[in-house]
Structures are given as C-alpha cells and as structure tokens.
C-alpha cells in the first residue's frame, strides 16, 4: 500500500490531531522576535526537539517540522539563502528523532510556507524562480525523512499551485494544502474560500484546509464555506495582544477544546493549532477528540458552554485636565464637553479598505444626525490594511461639522514618523488622539510584516505631552505649544490586572487627559472598576474623566466570539446567557442590555464610547438616539 493510500485510510478512521505553534513557544523561551527561526534547527536543535516532544506528549498524531520559512527568499535577509535545503533536511530529522523518542505512530509533516510576504518583488518572481525555491525545501524535507508535505498559510494561489506541482514531481507523498483567509472569507485577490478550495482540490492534493487567520471562529467559517470532507483546520488561538514585548493570545485551551466538535462536524480530518497555540491547547483538543463519537455529531452542533476566564474591573470619575490658556491653542470640543460635564457620546468608525471615502463620510453624517459628539477613527485595527486614520479624520472634519478622535498606534511608525505625522495632524485640525501600541501585524493582512514600536502607548502619551509643551521628544522646540487632547486606553477586565493598572498609572503620569475603556457589559464590572480606582487614586476615583466602552452584541455567536477570541473583551456569564436566550431578537436585546448598563452607571462616567460591530452604524445610531433622549446636548 502506497503512502497516500495509507494516509487517506488513516484519515478515514478518525481525525488526526496536529501539533500547535512552534514560533510562539520559541519566543516565550527567549528567542528574539526577529531571529532567523528556521536556523534554530542547526543552532538550537535541543530547543526544537524539546518542543516537538512536548507536542507529542500532549497527544499529537502529526508534528510539523520547524521549517516554515526555510526557503532562499525568507532566509536571504539573514545571509542564509544558500542553506534552505540543508535546514529543511535538518528540520525533518529533528522531528523524526522526536517521534522515535515518543515511540508512537506519528506522522512527520514537512512544513512549507510562502516564499515571503506578498511584496511586489515576491509576487513578480518568474515561474522558474518560484519552482526552484520550493524544490530546495521539498528535496531537503525528503532527504530528512518527512512523511508528507504540508503547505500552510498560503494566500497567493499561483504560488501554491506551483508548489504543489513541484511536490508531485518530487515524490508521491501525501500533500496537505492550507490557505489563510481574511474576514471576508476571501484571498487577497478576491477568490472566495469555496472557489479556492475547489481549485486546489483539483490539483490532486490529499487534504485542503485553512490555518492561521483571525482565530477559531474565523477559520471555522472558512472551512464551512469550503464544504466537503477530508479538510484541515489549524487556527490561531484567537487574536493576540502585545504585553511587555510578548504576544499573548486570547483563546484558552478549554475554548479550543469546545470548538473541536464543530471542526469535526464541518468536515475536518486534521485538526491542530497555529499561532498562540501551545501543548496545553493540543492536550485539551486531544481530550475533546477522544470523547467524540463521530456518528453522533450533528452538523449544527454547538458547545453549550464555553470556558470563562478571570475577570477584573475598574472605576470612573468625571474630572478634566483640559485647560485653555493664552499659551496654548483653544481646547478641542471634546475637552470643552468634558470640562462642562456634558455626557459625551463617541462612536467608532473604521476607515475604508479602498481609495473611496464616500461611504465613510455617509456613516459619519448618520451618526452626527443621531446626536454623536465625535467619532473615533480606528487605525488599521486588527492589523488590517485600511485608509490612513488621519486622512479619514481630516476628510470627515472637512465635510462635516463633526470632530474626530484618531486612534494612533506606534506599531507602524518609528519615532521620527510619529512626531512628523502628529505635527501635520495638528496643523490640519485633528487634535484628539487616542494613544495605542497597536495590534501585531501577524494577525492582519501581512502576517510577515514587522511592527516598529520604537515606543509603546505610554511613550506615545509622553510624546504628545511634550508637543503640548512646545517641544519634540528630543527637547527641540516645535514653534508653539500644541493643543492635543490625549486619550489613553484601559482594559478593566485584563487577565493581568496588576500590570494593566500599573500601565494606566504610567499613562496618567505621562500626561493623558482622558481614559477610554475596552467594552464592559454589566454594572458589576463597572462597580468593581470603581472600587479599585478609589483604592488606588483616592475617594474620588479616577483622576481623569472616563469614557465607558460599549460594544452592543448581535447574537450569542457574536458574544462567544468576542469573549473567547478577542483580546481585551470579557463578557460576563449572565450577559452571554441573555444573548443565548434572545434568539432572533439578538440585536434588540444587545441594545437593551447596553442601555440598561449605561443608565445604571452613567453617574460614574464622563460619557460612552460605542464600538459598532461589523460596521453596523445604523444600530449605533439608534443607540445614540436613545442615549440622547436621556442626555440632551443642551442639558
């Protein structure tokens, strides 16, 4: 019996459990973020082998070689372009050695990733160059003893086609082809997941599937769109956030275990993890797979409960540090509204993913007519490429009598660029800034891109404060004092509450004027936040005004996704239960829950910050109208 037949027979018997992330564990063990990870099979074979063994001990049936980027183009920046084949061979050998130690019938999958980020240079390589680069990796993996080839995280179909064809020429081994999709369940060229799966399946591969992406639910949606059986799914552990230089992912092992029956019901024959997953995740998924009776799973099966996580909470007071003196520009409308103790209502708007801004302006006009004080313009949130936030804010303020607050991240700009763009924004009248560190690029449209992060959000607050004093970060005068209103973000339900509170204190000390929280969902969270603030800052609570973040829920699925996969969002059990009971009334119940919570705690807040989900600005406008009936602008 040949290797492909044996592989397919094994998949038919029961789903295979693949391993989880390699890079996540390497980074957690001190390997620098920008190191040549593929070289570690030569320089740190002990570390690579140990990680393989940990996944085998967790119950993996298939382990991937640590060779995702072992091709001449990815290795070139490290001066290792001529080492691709050698590193691929050594990677396969290490995985086989780990399997030998485990003594189990485990498959070794030769991991092959794209040739690099989809830059113009990579996309315009000729066919011969693409084939040659993949062939080096394929030959090395064959020499090292890989049992199958696993192409993963592909978003360029032409390159994947060539890679598969070259693999078929190299050997008659099983081939697993995994693609990664955006929120729209399409590849960057617009090919839908179902069509992409059909095209790749026609190339005589053994398994087609999805990996990486925005998390378990996003990958499950892509897998369901593909249809069919003998699929594979290896999602990220939700979305990451950057904490003290490390990426921390949202989805815990219990959540991945709860999602496992859904993966199987959607046709997955190979299940595993990508970025952020650890041996703990794989162990939990092993337990879930072992408990599944395949003939008892309905296609629409859903876990009755998903795991809860520790919750933390915070407080709110209404004071202001905004001033208006002859030495500074007049305060922004936001600063004036807070000083006058008016209840501020702000709504977030996403910039367009195109060169047209018309619909964004229309959304802002809708919110303005509903009574919104200002709109927040996100800055490529989730590391998805969109029109620049500053340009969108200027466009809105140019066309409408509506002030903007720009989410400004330190992810994409070095120190010079940060200051230059802020000076330009001030000159154009964009003077409300939310200082953010920014989501990691690896979760977005260009996972191979790198963040800059010369400073984090605390450093960005300091830069803004110095500009408000009339000098740049180096102490050089900038001609006059700026008049920025500086907002900072705060996650009251952060798992690491002590660090989050400490960072908030540092942001306040750095010169922030306003605090904006991540979404909260019940009065208990807000009251706990208030108690903690009074304990830290004194009987008046926060020394700065606070805009209470709210994100109206749409459905029970929406609630579970936010709770389990999105960093910074914790939804109480009671709220998620209410959404389960809401059924088809999910949207209205989400609004009612948000309004009820705000009415009970509005005395603790300077206002609210509304985050519409999925661009549903009509729902946000309705929430604003209802809030305005309680808090008139001229009150």
**Domain-by-domain residue ranges, the chain?**
3-296, 333-629
The pLDDT, as a whole number, for residue 24 is 93
Q: What is the pTM of this model?
A: 0.77
The pLDDT, as a whole number, for residue 303 is 44
Residue 305 has pLDDT above 80, yes or no: no
- Backbone φ and ψ for 179, nearest 5 degrees, come out as -115, 160
Over residues 250-272, the pLDDT tens digits come to 899 999 999 999 999 999 999 99
Q: What token pair was written down for 336? A: 């004036």
Instruction: Domain 333-629: state its class.
Output: alpha beta
The pLDDT, as a whole number, for residue 401 is 94
- In this chain, the answer to whether the domains covering 3-296 and 333-629 adopt an identical fold is yes
Banded pLDDT at 8 (limits 50, 70, 90): very high
Residue 22 has pLDDT above 60, yes or no: yes
Banded pLDDT at 509 (limits 50, 70, 90): very high
3-296 is a CATH 3.20.20.330 domain: yes
Q: Please report which helix (H) or strand (E) contains residue 17, including its range.
A: strand 16-17
The pLDDT, as a whole number, for residue 439 is 74
Banded pLDDT at 446 (limits 50, 70, 90): low
Banded pLDDT at 569 (limits 50, 70, 90): confident
Residue 1 has pLDDT above 80, yes or no: no
- The answer to whether 286 touches 59, Cβ cutoff 8 Å, is yes
Over residues 600-618, the pLDDT tens digits come to 998 899 999 999 987 889 9
Banded pLDDT at 245 (limits 50, 70, 90): low
Q: Which residues is 487 bridged to in the sheet?
A: 434, 514
Banded pLDDT at 20 (limits 50, 70, 90): very high
How far is Cα 336 from Cα 607, in angstroms, rounded to an integer? 13
Mean pLDDT for the stretch of residues 403-420: 92
Over residues 50-104, the pLDDT tens digits come to 999 999 999 999 999 999 999 999 999 999 999 999 999 999 999 999 998 888 8
Residue 300 has pLDDT above 80, yes or no: no
Q: How far apart are the first and last CA of the chain?
A: 81
**Cβ-Cβ contacts under 8 Å for 76 (sequence gap 6 or more):** none
How many C-beta atoms lie closer than 10 Å to residue 195's C-beta?
15
Mean pLDDT for the stretch of residues 270-289: 96
Characterize 196-222 residue by residue with b for buried, 16 or more Cβ atoms within 10 angstroms of its Cβ, and e for exposed.
Answer: bbeebbebebbbbbbbbbbbbbbbbbb
Is the Cα torsion angle 383, 384, 388, 389 positive or negative in sign? negative
Residue 275 has pLDDT above 70, yes or no: yes
Q: What token pair was written down for 143? A: 């020499």
How far is Cα 239 from Cα 216, in angstroms, rounded to an integer? 10
Which residue in 259, 203, 254, 199 sits closest to 233, CA to CA?
Answer: 259
- The answer to whether 417 touches 401, Cβ cutoff 8 Å, is no
The pLDDT, as a whole number, for residue 568 is 79
Which residue in 21, 492, 564, 557 sits closest to 252, CA to CA?
Answer: 564
Mean pLDDT for the stretch of residues 527-538: 96
Which residue in 588, 596, 585, 580 sits closest to 619, CA to CA?
Answer: 588
Residue 423 has pLDDT above 50, yes or no: yes
The pLDDT, as a whole number, for residue 447 is 61
Residue 299 has pLDDT above 60, yes or no: no
Banded pLDDT at 320 (limits 50, 70, 90): very low
- The answer to whether 431 touches 483, Cβ cutoff 8 Å, is yes
Mean pLDDT for the stretch of residues 101-119: 93
Q: Please report which helix (H) or strand (E) contains residue 370, including its range.
A: helix 358-370
How far is Cα 218 from Cα 561, in angstroms, rounded to an integer? 9
> CA-CA distances (angstroms) from residue 311 to 148, 168, 174, 308, 520?
43, 51, 45, 9, 11
SS (H, E, C) 129-158: HHHHHHHHHHHHHHHHCCCEEEEEEECCHH
- Backbone φ and ψ for 107, nearest 5 degrees, come out as -90, 140
The pLDDT, as a whole number, for residue 360 is 94
Percent of the chain with pLDDT over 90: 77
Q: Please report which helix (H) or strand (E) contains residue 91, including its range.
A: helix 84-102
| Least confident span in 89-103, 373-387, 578-592 | 373-387
For the chain, how are helix, strand and coil distributed in percent, rounded to 5? Answer: 45, 15, 40
How far is Cα 271 from Cα 121, in angstroms, rounded to an integer? 33
How far is Cα 599 from Cα 492, in angstroms, rounded to an integer? 19
């Amino acid at each position: 019996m040949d290797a492909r037949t044996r592989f397919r027979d094994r998949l038919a018997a029961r789903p295979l459990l693949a391993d989880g992330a390699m890079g996540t564990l390497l980074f957690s063990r001190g390997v620098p973020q920008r190191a040549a990870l593929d070289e570690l099979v030569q320089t740190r074979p002990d570390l690579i082998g140990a990680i393989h063994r940990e996944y085998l001990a967790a119950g993996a049936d298939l382990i991937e070689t640590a060779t995702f980027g072992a091709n001449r183009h990815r290795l070139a920046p490290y001066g290792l372009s001529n080492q691709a084949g050698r590193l691929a061979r050594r990677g396969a050998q290490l995985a086989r050695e780990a399997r030998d130690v485990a003594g189990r019938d485990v498959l070794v999958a030769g991991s092959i990733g794209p040739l690099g980020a989809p830059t113009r240079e990579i996309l315009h390589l000729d066919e011969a160059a693409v084939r040659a680069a993949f062939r080096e990796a394929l030959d090395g993996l064959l020499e090292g003893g890989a049992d199958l080839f696993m192409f993963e995280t592909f978003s360029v179909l032409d390159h994947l086609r060539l890679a598969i064809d070259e693999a078929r020429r190299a050997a008659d081994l099983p081939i697993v082809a995994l693609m990664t999709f955006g929120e729209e369940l399409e590849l960057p060229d617009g090919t839908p997941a179902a069509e992409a799966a059909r095209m790749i399946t026609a190339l005589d591969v053994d398994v087609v599937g999805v990996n990486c992406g925005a998390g378990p639910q996003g990958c499950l949606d892509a897998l369901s769109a593909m249809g069919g059986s003998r699929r594979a799914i290896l999602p990220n552990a939700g979305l990451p956030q950057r904490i003290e230089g490390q990426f921390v992912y949202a989805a815990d092992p219990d959540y991945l275990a709860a999602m496992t029956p859904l993966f199987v019901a959607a046709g997955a024959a190979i299940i595993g993890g990508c970025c952020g997953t650890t041996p703990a995740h794989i162990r939990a998924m092993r337990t879930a797979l072992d408990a599944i009776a395949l003939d008892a799973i309905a296609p629409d099966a859903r876990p009755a409960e998903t795991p809860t996580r520790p919750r933390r909470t915070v407080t709110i007071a209404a004071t202001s540090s905004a001033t208006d003196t002859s030495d500074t520009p007049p305060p922004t409308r936001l600063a004036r509204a807070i000083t006058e103790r008016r209840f501020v209502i702000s709504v977030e708007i996403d910039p367009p993913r195109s060169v047209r801004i018309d619909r964004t302006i229309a959304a802002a006009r809708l919110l303005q007519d509903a009574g919104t004080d200002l709109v927040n313009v996100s800055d490529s949130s989730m590391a998805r490429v969109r029109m620049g936030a500053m340009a969108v804010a200027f466009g809105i303020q140019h066309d409408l009598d509506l002030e903007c607050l720009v989410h400004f991240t330190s992810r994409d700009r070095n120190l010079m660029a940060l200051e230059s763009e802020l000076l330009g924004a001030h000159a154009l009248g964009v003077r409300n800034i939310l200082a953010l560190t920014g989501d990691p690029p690896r979760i977005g449209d260009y996972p191979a891109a790198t963040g800059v992060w010369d400073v984090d959000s605390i450093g960005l607050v300091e830069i803004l404060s110095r500009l408000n004093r009339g000098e740049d970060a180096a102490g050089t005068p900038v001609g006059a004092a700026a008049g920025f209103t500086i907002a900072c973000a705060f996650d009251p339900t952060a798992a690491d509450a002590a660090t989050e509170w400490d960072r908030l204190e540092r942001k306040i000390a750095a010169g922030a004027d306003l605090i904006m929280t991540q979404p909260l969902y019940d009065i208990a969270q807000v009251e706990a936040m208030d108690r903690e603030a009074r304990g830290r800052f004194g009987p008046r609570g926060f020394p700065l005004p606070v805009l209470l973040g709210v994100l109206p829920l749409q459905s029970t699925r929406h609630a579970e996704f936010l709770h389990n996969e999105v960093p910074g969002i914790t939804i109480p059990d009671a709220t998620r239960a209410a959404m389960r009971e809401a059924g088809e009334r999910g949207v209205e119940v989400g609004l009612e829950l948000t309004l009820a919570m705000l009415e009970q705690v509005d005395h603790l807040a300077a206002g609210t910050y509304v985050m519409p989900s999925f661009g549903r600005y009509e729902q946000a406008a309705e929430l604003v109208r209802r809030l305005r009936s309680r808090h008139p602008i001229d009150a």
